[in-house]
Amino acid sequence: MSSEKKLCLGAFSISLSVKDLKTSKAFYEKLGFSVYAGQFDKNYLIMKNQESLIGLFQGMFQGNIMTFNPGWDQRAQNLEDFDDVREVQKVAHERGIQIMNPVDEETTGPGSFMMTDPDGNIILIDQHR
């Protein structure tokens, strides 16, 4: 196992499917989160508390999604050294993980793909650069 490539997945956040964006925003503000990014009129906000990120999304998807952003740190700043989303997808596939919505391996730059863990939790690998 130690000879296997260790993947660098980048920033981690959880994307929550919320019923009411205003109510959820107020709740997380009570826990010390503040709006970091997003647009209320587009039904999503990114909330931050120190290094913790929570995305609140109303009416965009069902269930909650764990998100990793290759190329970004927790402050959405570019990392010099990171594993491209296509490399992460290739290694995951080689290790027997089923890929949903695969990114085209012939492209460069932004891209994303999804997979599920053994309990059905969705994981999004979403590269923005």
The dihedral over CA atoms of 102, 81, 64, 54, expressed in degrees to the nearest 10, equals: -150
Residue matched to tokens 């290790």: 95
Instruction: Report pLDDT for 60.
Output: 92
Buried (b) or exposed (e) across 75-109, using 16+ Cβ within 10 A?
ebeeeeebbbbbebbbebeeeeeeeeeebeeeeee
Average of per-residue pLDDT across 29-50: 95
CA dist list (Å): 112 to 50, 99, 103, 128: 26, 11, 6, 8
47 Cβ contact list (under 8 Å, min separation 6): 25, 28, 29, 33, 34, 35, 36, 53, 54, 55, 56
The domain limits of the chain are 11-127
- Asked if the model's pLDDT at residue 28 lies above 60, the reply is yes
Using CB atoms within 10 A of its CB, is residue 12 exposed (0-12), middle (13-18) or buried (19+)?
Answer: middle
Quick one: tokens of 80? 């010099």
Do 114 and 121 meet the contact criterion of CB atoms below 8 Å apart? no
In tens, the pLDDT along 62-105 reads 899 999 999 998 888 899 999 999 999 999 999 999 999 999 99
Flag the least confident range among 21-25, 35-39, 71-75.
71-75
Instruction: Report pLDDT for 2.
Output: 41
CATH superfamily of the 11-127 domain = 2,3-Dihydroxybiphenyl 1,2-Dioxygenase, domain 1 (3.10.180.10)
Q: Can you tell me whether residue 93 is helix, strand or coil?
A: helix
Which one is predicted more confidently, 112 or 76? 112
pLDDT band at residue 1 under the 50/70/90 scheme: very low
Which one is predicted more confidently, 5 or 117? 117
In tens, the pLDDT along 118-129 reads 889 999 999 999
